[in-house]
């Protein structure tokens, strides 16, 4: 089992990143890969989880040890698979996620793609009281949505953010609903647009 991979970040896409180590390019599925955009062509260390099935071996990547531990907790829940767990982590509001689980907030949990009421209830049942060690160190959501400036057309970062949402499992209908608001923002990176989109999708 791998703990982490250290190497040169050679590619960042909507669904995964590639890290080259000793001439081998490792494809890592990531929750919001664009968090790594600023590190392109630089050395990075990414924590990993290897999922083995009969038809595939997949590596999932995490920005730090705490995010990986939260992921491992999620995939232990019946009905939550490796990709569903990744989509849950993509919002980056891990503190909010822990609080929702501890507070029996099933409604909050059903806002994630592929999570219905039954699965949300199972998450609470399986993980409530077991996340205290993750409540402080994990990443917290940063900033608020900017309420300003003009519509941005032909914006490559926005388009990349929309593609990343599709890769996470959000439907075209859900993405279309928030796209005008995202395009009206004046963010500077795909990561920022994707974070904003995820916050909007988590609202009622």
Same domain, residue pair 40 and 79: no
Q: Does residue 151 lie in a domain region?
A: no
* pLDDT of 13 strictly over 50: yes
pLDDT of residue 146: 30
Same domain, residue pair 21 and 46: yes
The domain in which residue 34 lies consists of 4-62
Q: Does residue 146 lie in a domain region?
A: no
* pLDDT of 5 strictly over 90: yes
Q: Does residue 140 lie in a domain region?
A: no
Q: Quick one: pLDDT band at residue 90, thresholds 50, 70, 90?
A: confident
Q: Does residue 164 lie in a domain region?
A: yes
Query: The CATH number of the domain where 33 resides is what?
Result: 2.40.50.140
- Which residues, including other chains, have CB under 8 Å from residue 186's CB and lie 6 or more apart? 146, 148, 149, 150, 152
pTM exceeding 0.75: no
Same domain, residue pair 128 and 69: yes
Same domain, residue pair 113 and 162: no
pLDDT of residue 151: 33
Write out pLDDT tens, residues 109-128.
Answer: 998 988 999 999 999 999 99
Same domain, residue pair 38 and 70: no
* pLDDT of 144 strictly over 60: no
Query: The CATH number of the domain where 99 resides is what?
Result: 1.10.150.20
Q: Does residue 195 lie in a domain region?
A: yes
Question: How far is residue 105's CA from residue 90's CA, in Å, rounded to a whole number?
Answer: 19
Write out pLDDT tens, residues 162-181.
Answer: 889 988 888 888 898 898 89
Q: Does residue 19 lie in a domain region?
A: yes
Same domain, residue pair 51 and 76: no
Same domain, residue pair 10 and 70: no
Q: Does residue 15 lie in a domain region?
A: yes
Q: Does residue 79 lie in a domain region?
A: yes
Find the mean pLDDT for residues 88-107. Answer: 88
Same domain, residue pair 78 and 45: no
Provide the domain count of the chain: 3
Same domain, residue pair 30 and 76: no
Write out pLDDT tens, residues 184-194.
Answer: 898 889 999 99
């Amino acid at each position: 089992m791998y703990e982490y991979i250290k190497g040169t970040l050679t590619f960042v896409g909507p669904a995964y990143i590639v890290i080259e180590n000793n001439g081998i390019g490792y494809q890592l599925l990531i929750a919001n890969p664009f968090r790594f955009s600023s590190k392109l062509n630089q050395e990075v260390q990414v924590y990993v989880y290897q999922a083995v099935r009969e038809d595939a071996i997949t590596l999932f990547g995490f920005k730090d040890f705490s995010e990986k531990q939260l992921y491992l907790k999620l995939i232990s829940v019946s009905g939550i698979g490796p990709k569903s767990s990744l989509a849950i982590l993509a919002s980056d509001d891990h503190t909010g996620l822990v609080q929702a689980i501890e507070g029996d907030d099933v409604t909050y949990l059903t806002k994630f793609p592929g999570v219905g009421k039954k699965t949300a209830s199972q998450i609470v049942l399986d993980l409530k009281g077991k996340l205290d060690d993750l409540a402080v160190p994990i990443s917290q959501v940063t900033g608020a949505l900017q309420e300003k400036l003009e519509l941005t057309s032909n914006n490559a970062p926005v388009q990349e953010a929309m593609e990343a949402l599709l890769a996470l499992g959000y439907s075209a209908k859900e993405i279309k609903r928030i796209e005008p608001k995202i395009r009206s923002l004046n963010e500077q990176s795909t990561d920022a647009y994707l974070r904003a989109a995820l916050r909007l999708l988590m609202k009622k």
